[in-house]
């Protein structure tokens, strides 16, 4: 089966990160569904190359693994896809379609029926269940379109449980079980958008003063890197800090799985944090009219059944203030930090429940085959 994945990079590495993970997960299920021929069309090869050094950002058409990689608007695309028409298209994150593909689908008209699956953004909102597997119309009866929603319940497509991530999770679990539980240093992965982080840094300092642990921040590259450095400097550089180099996706997965406390952002890192089962604070992508708070609230509602009332209130307060509601951010973060060991049980139960929903790639391939058989 030929599957073409479309991706426009909007959020640095988030979009292409999910697509790369999805492609690897589809490779994982080949033995169950037969040969899958993958073609990936992306508008930012530079970001892709950061994740996968073997990718040449200047090469408009190339091979990696058994996949074909195309630059979004390359002249080679039309001829390549006209010669070998697409069967299944995964249109990721409302990215639209390149002009050459629109022409191929609706003007040249490919000889076969083409099924487009709209892979939407991850959300805990109710519409994820309502929209999942919902069909919509196109300009041609030979081009079918249907939604496929990632999500946190068994009425959605679930999350990607690729073998590389699951191996990282098991490795981290084994290492943490062997480590000394009374370690005097608490490592925190910090990955943020650009914003004032002085209250967070002050909370880190207060945590050291009120606990028996030293805190060490593992600062990831990205939009919020300079913001944290500026805030840390303004506060006198009192806490330990390690600036992380940009690392491949599998190494990032392992870091998230083994580090006991996470401050993360974006979609792919959010999904990995949810599955890792370690306490984390999520910064959603800032949106107009503070719509990010709706997304934060929806995810919190999914998590609530797995926490005691007291522990959930701590998470809810910290997340909401961190994402823009009024309140004392320093106090909320400090309370989260001081209770992170007690919070772990709830995060672990939530992670365990998510894994029971199964692998998005498996669910997607099952749905694709069912849809194509109907055709």
Mapping DSSP onto H, E and C, the string for 31-96 reads HHHCCCEEEEEECCHHHHHHHCCCCCCCCCEEEECCEEEEECCCCHHHHHHHHCCCCEEEEECCCC
Which pLDDT belongs to residue 182?
55
Which pLDDT belongs to residue 13?
73
The residue segments making up the domain with residue 137 are 2-160+358-374
Q: Which residues of the chain have pLDDT under 50?
A: none
pLDDT tens digits, one per residue of 188-199: 999 999 999 999
Same domain, 172 and 153: no
Q: How far is Cα 341 from Cα 363, in angstroms, rounded to an integer? A: 34
Same domain, 110 and 181: no
Same domain, 17 and 121: yes
How many structural domains is the chain composed of?
Answer: 2
Which pLDDT belongs to residue 10?
78
Same domain, 273 and 370: no
Helix 225-234 crosses helix 198-210 at what angle (to 10 degrees)?
Answer: 60
CB atoms within 10 A of CB 259: 20
Same domain, 171 and 273: yes
Q: How far is Cα 262 from Cα 5, in angstroms, rounded to an integer? A: 30
Same domain, 199 and 79: no
Residue whose pair of structure tokens reads 């330990």 in the numeric block: 240
Same domain, 142 and 180: no
Contact by Cβ (8 Å): 115, 368: yes
User: What is the CATH number for 248?
Assistant: 3.40.50.2000
Same domain, 242 and 262: yes
User: What is the CATH number for 95?
Assistant: 3.40.50
DSSP 288-337: GGGTHHHHHHHHHHHHGGGS-HHHHHHHHHHHHHHTT-SS-HHHHHHHHH
Same domain, 118 and 147: yes
Reduced to 3 states (helix: H, G, I; strand: E, B; else coil), residue 169 is helix
Same domain, 350 and 202: yes
pLDDT tens digits, one per residue of 68-77: 999 999 999 9
Same domain, 313 and 177: yes
pTM over 0.85: yes
Same domain, 140 and 186: no
Contact by Cβ (8 Å): 130, 278: no
Order of all β-strands in the sheet with 214-219: 240-243, 214-219, 185-190, 261-265, 280-283
């Amino acid at each position: 089966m030929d599957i073409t994945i479309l991706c426009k990079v909007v959020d640095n590495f988030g979009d292409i990160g999910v697509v790369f993970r999805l492609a690897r997960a589809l490779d994982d299920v080949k033995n169950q569904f037969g040969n899958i021929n993958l073609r990936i069309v992306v508008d930012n090869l530079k970001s892709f190359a950061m994740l996968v050094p073997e990718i040449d950002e200047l090469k408009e058409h190339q091979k990696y693994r058994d996949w074909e990689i195309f630059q979004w608007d390359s002249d080679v695309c039309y001829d390549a896809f006209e010669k070998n028409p697409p069967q299944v298209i995964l249109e990721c994150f409302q990215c639209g379609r390149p002009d050459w593909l629109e022409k191929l689908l609706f003007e040249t008209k490919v000889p076969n029926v083409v099924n487009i699956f709209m892979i939407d953004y991850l959300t805990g909102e109710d519409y994820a269940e309502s929209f999942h597997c919902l069909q919509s119309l196109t300009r041609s009866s030979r081009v079918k379109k249907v939604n496929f929603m990632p999500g946190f319940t068994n009425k959605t497509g679930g999350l990607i449980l690729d073998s590389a991530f699951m191996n990282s999770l098991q490795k981290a679990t084994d290492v943490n079980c062997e480590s000394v539980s009374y370690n005097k240093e608490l490592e925190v992965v910090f990955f943020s958008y650009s914003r004032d982080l002085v209250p967070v840094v002050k909370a880190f300092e207060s945590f050291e003063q009120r606990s028996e642990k030293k805190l060490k921040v593992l600062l990831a590259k990205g939009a919020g890197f300079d913001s944290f450095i500026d805030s840390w400097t303004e506060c006198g550089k009192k806490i330990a800090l390690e600036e992380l180099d940009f690392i491949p996706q599998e190494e990032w997965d392992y870091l998230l799985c083994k580090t006991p406390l996470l401050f993360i952002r974006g979609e792919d890192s959010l999904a990995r944090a949810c599955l890792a089962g370690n306490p984390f604070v999520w910064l959603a992508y800032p949106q107009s009219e503070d719509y990010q708070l709706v997304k934060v609230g929806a995810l919190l509602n999914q998590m609530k059944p797995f926490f005691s009332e007291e522990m959930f209130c701590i998470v809810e307060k910290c997340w909401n203030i961190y994402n823009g509601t009024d309140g004392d951010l320093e106090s909320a973060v400090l309370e989260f930090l001081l209770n992170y060991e007690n919070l772990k049980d709830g995060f672990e139960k939530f992670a365990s429940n998510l894994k029971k929903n199964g692998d998005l790639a498996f669910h997607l391939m099952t749905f694709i085959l069912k849809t194509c058989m109907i055709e």
